[in-house]
Amino acid sequence: MLVQTIITIGAILAVIGIVLGFVLLKMTGGEGYVPYYPSALLTLAGIVFACIAAPMDVMVREVGLGGWAIAALFAAGISFIVTSVSHAFQIHDNEA
Protein backbone atom coordinates (compact mmCIF):
# COMPACT_ATOMS: atom_id res chain seq x y z
CA MET A 1 0.00 0.00 0.00
CA LEU A 2 2.81 2.41 0.84
CA VAL A 3 4.61 1.74 -2.45
CA GLN A 4 1.47 2.56 -4.43
CA THR A 5 1.12 5.84 -2.56
CA ILE A 6 4.73 6.82 -3.27
CA ILE A 7 4.40 5.92 -6.96
CA THR A 8 1.17 7.93 -7.19
CA ILE A 9 2.77 10.96 -5.54
CA GLY A 10 5.78 10.64 -7.84
CA ALA A 11 3.58 10.40 -10.93
CA ILE A 12 1.58 13.47 -9.92
CA LEU A 13 4.76 15.47 -9.24
CA ALA A 14 6.22 14.28 -12.56
CA VAL A 15 3.17 15.46 -14.50
CA ILE A 16 3.31 18.83 -12.74
CA GLY A 17 7.03 19.15 -13.54
CA ILE A 18 6.52 18.16 -17.18
CA VAL A 19 3.62 20.58 -17.69
CA LEU A 20 5.53 23.45 -16.09
CA GLY A 21 8.58 22.58 -18.20
CA PHE A 22 6.49 22.63 -21.40
CA VAL A 23 4.88 25.94 -20.47
CA LEU A 24 8.24 27.53 -19.68
CA LEU A 25 9.71 26.06 -22.86
CA LYS A 26 6.99 27.66 -24.97
CA MET A 27 7.30 30.97 -23.10
CA THR A 28 11.07 31.22 -23.59
CA GLY A 29 11.11 29.87 -27.14
CA GLY A 30 13.86 27.39 -26.31
CA GLU A 31 16.35 30.01 -25.14
CA GLY A 32 18.20 29.47 -21.88
CA TYR A 33 17.70 26.97 -19.09
CA VAL A 34 14.47 28.28 -17.57
CA PRO A 35 12.43 25.18 -18.61
CA TYR A 36 14.62 23.04 -16.36
CA TYR A 37 13.84 24.99 -13.18
CA PRO A 38 10.84 22.82 -12.15
CA SER A 39 13.01 19.70 -12.39
CA ALA A 40 15.79 21.37 -10.43
CA LEU A 41 13.29 22.42 -7.76
CA LEU A 42 12.00 18.84 -7.47
CA THR A 43 15.58 17.59 -7.17
CA LEU A 44 16.35 20.09 -4.43
CA ALA A 45 13.14 19.20 -2.59
CA GLY A 46 13.98 15.50 -2.81
CA ILE A 47 17.46 16.04 -1.39
CA VAL A 48 16.13 18.22 1.43
CA PHE A 49 13.43 15.65 2.28
CA ALA A 50 16.01 12.86 2.30
CA CYS A 51 18.29 14.83 4.63
CA ILE A 52 15.43 15.69 6.98
CA ALA A 53 14.04 12.13 6.93
CA ALA A 54 17.17 10.60 8.46
CA PRO A 55 17.05 12.18 11.94
CA MET A 56 13.28 12.79 12.17
CA ASP A 57 10.19 10.61 11.94
CA VAL A 58 7.74 12.91 10.18
CA MET A 59 4.68 11.56 8.38
CA VAL A 60 2.83 13.59 5.73
CA ARG A 61 -0.33 11.99 4.31
CA GLU A 62 0.66 8.62 5.80
CA VAL A 63 4.02 8.68 4.01
CA GLY A 64 7.33 9.49 5.67
CA LEU A 65 9.64 12.15 4.35
CA GLY A 66 11.86 9.44 2.89
CA GLY A 67 8.97 8.38 0.67
CA TRP A 68 8.38 11.96 -0.37
CA ALA A 69 12.10 12.22 -1.17
CA ILE A 70 11.94 9.13 -3.38
CA ALA A 71 8.82 10.44 -5.12
CA ALA A 72 10.33 13.90 -5.69
CA LEU A 73 13.60 12.52 -7.06
CA PHE A 74 11.71 10.11 -9.34
CA ALA A 75 9.56 12.97 -10.61
CA ALA A 76 12.60 15.19 -11.12
CA GLY A 77 14.36 12.56 -13.21
CA ILE A 78 11.37 11.84 -15.40
CA SER A 79 10.44 15.51 -15.90
CA PHE A 80 14.06 16.44 -16.66
CA ILE A 81 14.32 13.76 -19.35
CA VAL A 82 11.00 14.66 -20.99
CA THR A 83 11.74 18.40 -20.86
CA SER A 84 15.24 17.98 -22.30
CA VAL A 85 13.99 15.81 -25.19
CA SER A 86 11.25 18.34 -25.94
CA HIS A 87 13.80 21.16 -25.73
CA ALA A 88 16.09 19.36 -28.17
CA PHE A 89 13.26 18.88 -30.66
CA GLN A 90 12.22 22.53 -30.37
CA ILE A 91 15.80 23.73 -30.94
CA HIS A 92 16.07 21.43 -33.97
CA ASP A 93 12.77 22.64 -35.41
CA ASN A 94 13.78 26.28 -34.97
CA GLU A 95 17.07 25.73 -36.85
CA ALA A 96 15.53 23.83 -39.77
Residues 37-78 pLDDT 10s: 999 999 999 999 899 887 777 776 777 788 889 999 999 999
Whole-angstrom Cα Rg for the chain: 15
The H or E element that residue 37 is part of is helix 37-53
Please state whether the predicted TM-score (pTM) of the whole model is above 0.75: yes
Count of domains for the chain: 1
Range of the domain at 85: 2-95
CA 27, distance to chain mean position in Å, is 19
Q: Phi and psi of 44, rounded to 5°?
A: -60, -45
Q: How many CA atoms lie within 13 A of 39 on its CB side?
A: 20
Rounded Cα gap, residues 67 and 25, in angstroms: 29
